Structure formats: C-alpha cells, structure tokens
Amino acid sequence: MIKAGAIDKGMCLLMKNAPYLVVEREFVSPGKGSAFVRLKLKSLTTGQTLQETIKTNDSVEEAQVADRNAQFMYADATDYHFMDTENYEQFAVPREGMEDKQYYLQEGHTYYVTEWEGKFIEVKIPYKIVLTVTEAQEALKGDTVTGATKTVVLETGLSIRVPIFIKQGEKVMINTESNEYVERVNS
Amino acid sequence: MPRCWINRGLPPAFFVYILACMTGEVIRARAALTAGVRSFFTGKNYLEVETPLLAPALIPEAAIEVFKTRFEHPYRAGRDLYLTPSPELWMKRLIAGGMGNIFQICKAFRNAEALGRLHNPEFTILEYYTVNADCRDSLELTQELFAHLVKVCEEAPGVFAGAALRERLARLAPPFRRMSMAQAFGQYAGLDLEEFCPREPAAAPEAARRLSARARGLGLPAGEGDAWEEAFNRVFAGVVEPALPRDKPLALTCYPRGVRCLAKDVPGTPWNERWELYACGMEIANCFTEEADAEKIAAYFREEAPLKEKALVPHAIDGDFTSLYAHREKAPGRARDSSGNLFGASQKIAAYGPAAAEGLPRAADAPKSADTSGVAVGLDRLFMAFLGEEAIGGVILFPFSDIIAPHS
C-alpha cells in the first residue's frame, strides 16, 4: 500500500481488484482545504478511462505488474505476437481491448509489454513514433493558405492530418496520444 | 516554455541562449501583465506596500504547511522564523492602522505541497484589501482587474502573440459567472447542501456522518470518522469541482461555515461571505468579507491552533493578531473611522438577509459597507490563464521542480 500523494504518472494501481494505469495526476487542495490527488486512470483490462479524486493521505494498492521487453513480430486476427528480447520466448497478446495498437506497432521494433497475474494486459507505445506515408494526394497547385492540411495514410493504416507539403514515401513523426503530426523526418 | 536547463549540465552560455530565444516571449508577457496589475491598482489609488516575508509567528491554518528558518544572533540567542504563506497577517495590521486601500505583489511560501501542474512551493501572490467594502465589492473590482488585463493583452499583441489569443481573452473577459456553493452542490452532486450543514457546533458530528454517508452513495471513499469539513471536501473535490463550468471565469460564492476561515458569516444562514474564483478550471483567487468579531476570531484561533501541533512543520501562533480585534471592544469610537475600519460594525448585512445565499446579490438600496474585504490571487496561475500555459512551470523562471527536485 502507498499513500495517494505518492502516486505518479505511469504507475499501475489496483482498484476494485483490477489494474489501472495512471495516465494523468494532478494535485488540488480546494478552498485552501486538505490536499487531494486527481487521477485519470485507464483500465488495463477494458481500456476504459475513469477519473478518481482521492485524499493524498488515503492508501491505495499498487498493482504488481511486470514489464517485458519484447520485439513485435506480426499480428493475426486475434493476437499480437511478440518475442521476449532476453529469453527469445514467443508469446501472444490478445487484440481484444487493444485494437487501436495495430496503428502504432511496427514489425521488428521492441516494446514494453505489461504482464499482470500471468496475463498480458498492455503494450506500451512510445509517445512519439516515426511512420512512412503510404498514401498521399498531391497538393493542389495554388493552395497557399498558411496551415493548410490534408489527410494521409501511414504504413500501419493510420490516417492523420499533415501539412500539404508532405509527400508519399516520406517519413513523419506523430504524437501517439493525440494522433497529431509533429514533424517531417528526413531519412 | 521557460524550462530551466541548468540541471541538464549545459554550459551557462547555452542557458542564456535558451532564455533569450525560447522563453523571451513569456518573460516579456509576464512582465507586461505584472505592470498591468500595478497600474490597475495605483490608478485606483490603492497604495502598494511591501511587508516582511519572515515572520516570528503566523495565523494558524490547518491545511497549510509552512517553511521554517532561523535568525541567528552572533552574540545572543537566535529565534525561529517562518516564511509567510501569504502577506495577510501584515496587511491586516496596516488596515487596522488606518492605511486605507492597499495592495501587494510578493512571494508566498507553502511547504509540503506536492509539485505538479498547479503548484510551486514558492509562488507569487497578489493581495488587495478594500475598506468600506465587502466581498461583493471585491468581486466587482476583480472583474475590473480582469478587464484591464484583457486590455493590456489586446494593446500589445506582439508580446502576447499566438493564434488562440483572441479566443483565450474572450474566455477571461468579464462578466464572471456566479454560483453559490449550494447551487453547485445541487446541480453537480444532486444534494441540498443546506440540509447537510450543522445548525450549531454540537450538531456537526451528526451532520458529518450524514454527509459522509451521502458521499459514499456518490461512490467516494469517505471514511466513517471523517470530520464535517473532510466530508464536504470529498464531495466538493470528487464531484462538484470537476464539473464546474469553464467557459467563463466562475465566482463560487457563499462557502459553508463548516469550512473554517476568517470570513464573516451571512447571518441566519449556514454560509459565510467568501468567494473563490475559478478560471480555465484553476482556482485562482480567494476573497472574504473579513471577519471582525474579536470573539469569533479568537474561536477560530482556538480551533485551528491545536491542529497545527500535528503539522509536519508546527509554527508559533500570532497571538497579537487576535488582540488587534479585541482592541475594537475597548475603543468603539474608532470603529466609525472611515479610513481604517477593519473593526467597523456591519450595518449593511441586514440589507441582504437570507437572499445572500443565492450568489451574493446586492440590494439596490444597500448602504456602503463598513467592512473590509481582502482578495488573494495566485498570480502565476492568473498568468497561466492569460498566456494559455498548461503548467505553472510555463510561467515561472527556474521552476522548483527543475532546480530542486527533478524527480518528485
């Protein structure tokens, strides 16, 4: 058990017998009163998010989770397949509840896969990743509006809005939390 | 974002470069806003004052932890001193001394506050006190301050560059929304707060049990033995505050008396004359019609002082502060003095009656108040709102989290 005031972003908590990832943490002491911590939690079993406000001196339980460093191999209809980079053991992570991960997982790249009570419940995607543009329309001539954007499709199938100068075959960095374009990457 | 780079092991020249290139815009905008605050108050004939940051004793506030330090005399005994968590204890002395309307921009220090998006243990506070005024007058004044700062931003668009400027200013421009605590609890927690307010101190434990039970009904982890203020805070922080509207600044008025503070009571109701201002979802300012009844202030000290003994940093209690008010009883003639009437009798309050619970309306024929009203503003947070910064580290140079404790 730890005090709620010691909770930090990225921790895993056990609430109502289920593991939750701390996505956001903010301290508030309303009206010069006692201190609270406001948490945005993501269920590691259902993917749903919830907000909790608890007193900083309330006790909470940390979920006993372990992260495995693993290389992504391929996805099939039901699972994502990984290989542990330490012992080369292969394992499958069910897609259910993590369907959106398919847009960020790149074959051959390594990720942290979170294990809780023998189940793989989360694949941690880096905050920023670089993906290749596979489908992009040519910008219309004469379209000189500042900040004009267009939609392109990336190698993983993800569609995002990018500035009009981005061409097919180029690499772009994206923010995986907001699905926003960050910058063009020169390879 | 003005982030501090010194802890990254970069050479000083690079650091200066970062300051000049990356943060110059925010530094200049902050300076312009501070100048705007000053010009607003001096333009209204408020006297700017500077009071000590070191004090031998403080007003007891159970929820605030303080910084303790020590004065060493080279030849005699030294003594413990405390960094002031707000300049209130000095500024009220000036008001009592007949100084008239005053304001101050200074540093305030609060210990043991968890760092994060909204807290820096050392922050800039703006306090202003208006005599012959109550918290309604202070709310009008604060709206004028916001209007003035909006104008400052509009007149220097180069300094306050950014595509979202106009939209941001529209969200900060008066008029503010006003909502009483009772309305907020009714709307967002579905409970009649008045029903849960103890009518007399002896009823508090029973009221606390009822409110805790209701909090648990709302899915909040309220303990069986929570005091009334705890139970109230749980419901407020858990379900009310997150739901407050954010499209305009919001003055949340008429706090329940069960939340102990130095604000005056609204007679015949469980509320007191206090408001807090929220802007962009942040608590930005706190205002009282200052309590002037010596007995009530002494009672506040009696209740809060023992709680300080359990604090992480216990501090000496400012006993002289209560005697300021006791003086009033001995010299009633002084209470009519129009220049320094912290101790003035309130002739005005009857003009409001219980209607004051509806968000501080003012009776058209209400006489001018004989009270004093003070407002404390977290200036860094105010600047965050005006500059569209998401974290307090974005508006202060050398944020605490960068220079002292990068990992806490």
Same domain? A101 vs A49? no
| Conformation bin of residue B132: beta by default, left when phi > 0, alpha when psi is -120 to 50 | left
In chain A, alpha helices (H): none
Token pair listed for B95:
């008001």
d(CA B338, CA B320): 23
What are B214-223's pLDDT values in tens digits? 999 988 888 7
Of A8, A121, A125, the C-alpha closest to A62 is A8
Sequence-distant (6+) residues with CB within 8 A of A26 are A37, A38, B116, B117, B118
Same domain? A6 vs A58? yes
Place B232 in a pLDDT band, splitting at 50, 70 and 90: very high
Interface probe, candidates B61, B224, B234, B255, chain A, greatest A C-beta count within 10 A: B234
User: Residue A13 belongs to a domain with what CATH number?
Assistant: 2.30.30.30
Chain B nearest C-alpha distance from A8 (Å): 9
Q: Which of the listed residues A14, A45, A62 is the one where a domain comes to its end? A: A62
d(CA B122, CA B163): 31
Q: Which of the listed residues A30, A47, A62 is the one where a domain comes to its end? A: A62
Residues B280-291 have a mean pLDDT of: 95
Same domain? A52 vs A72? no
Report the pLDDT value the prediction gives residue B366, as an integer from 0 to 100.
58
Residues B84-100 have a mean pLDDT of: 93
Same domain? A118 vs A136? no
Same domain? A103 vs A55? no
Q: What is the reported pTM? A: 0.79
d(CA B238, CA A125): 30
Q: Is B166 helix (H, G, I), strand (E, B) or coil?
A: helix
Q: What is the b/e burial string over B346-370, where b = at least 16 CB atoms within 10 angstroms of the residue's CB?
A: bebbebbeeebbebbebeeebeebb
Q: Which amino acid would we find at residue A42?
A: K
Residues in chain B, how many?
A: 408
Residues B10-21 have a mean pLDDT of: 45
Residue whose pair of structure tokens reads 């017998």 in the numeric block: A17
End-to-end CA distance of chain A: give it in Å, rounded. 47
Residues B21-47 have a mean pLDDT of: 88
d(CA B85, CA B255): 22
User: Residue A162 belongs to a domain with what CATH number?
Assistant: 2.40.50.140
Residue A27 has its nearest CB partner, among B118, B234, B241, at: B118
Residue B242 has its nearest CB partner, among A25, A37, A51, at: A51
Q: Which of the listed residues A62, A77, A110 is the one where a domain comes to its end? A: A62
What are A87-146's pLDDT values in tens digits? 999 999 988 878 888 999 999 999 999 888 888 888 988 989 999 999 988 766 666 555
Q: Which residues pair with A185 in a beta bridge?
A: A171
All structural domains of chain B, each given as residue ranges with its CATH number in brackets, are 6-176+314-342+371-403 (3.30.930.10)
Report the pLDDT value the prediction gives residue B357, as an integer from 0 to 100.
33
What range does the domain containing A43 cover? 2-62
B372 pLDDT above the threshold of 90 = yes
Same domain? A53 vs A70? no
Residues of A in contact with B116 (CB under 8 A): 25-27
Q: Is A121 helix (H, G, I), strand (E, B) or coil?
A: strand
B173 pLDDT above the threshold of 50 = yes
Report the pLDDT value the prediction gives residue B408, as an integer from 0 to 100.
44
A82 pLDDT above the threshold of 80 = yes
Report the pLDDT value the prediction gives residue A143, as an integer from 0 to 100.
60
Contact B259 A28 (CB under 8 A): no
Residues B242-266 have a mean pLDDT of: 94
Residues B198-212 have a mean pLDDT of: 90
B1 pLDDT above the threshold of 60 = no
Place B331 in a pLDDT band, splitting at 50, 70 and 90: very low
Question: Where is average pLDDT lowest: A1-10, B36-45, B146-155?
Answer: A1-10
B356 pLDDT above the threshold of 60 = no
Report the pLDDT value the prediction gives residue A148, as an integer from 0 to 100.
76
Same domain? A42 vs A83? no
Report the pLDDT value the prediction gives residue A103, as an integer from 0 to 100.
92
Average pLDDT, rounded, for chain A: 88
The DSSP element (H or E) to which B83 belongs, if any, is strand B79-83
Average pLDDT, rounded, for chain B: 83
Token pair listed for A135:
């489908």
Check CB contact of B241 with chain A, cutoff 8 Å: yes
Question: Where is average pLDDT lowest: A91-95, B9-13, B268-272?
Answer: B9-13
Same domain? A119 vs A70? yes
What are B43-82's pLDDT values in tens digits? 999 999 999 999 999 999 988 999 999 999 999 999 999 9
Q: Which residues pair with A82 in a beta bridge?
A: A72, A91
Interface probe, candidates A39, A41, A53, chain B, greatest B C-beta count within 10 A: A53
Place B365 in a pLDDT band, splitting at 50, 70 and 90: low
Report the pLDDT value the prediction gives residue B22, as an integer from 0 to 100.
40
Contact B241 A28 (CB under 8 A): yes
How many domains does chain A contain in total?
3
Same domain? A91 vs A106? yes
d(CA B160, CA B152): 9
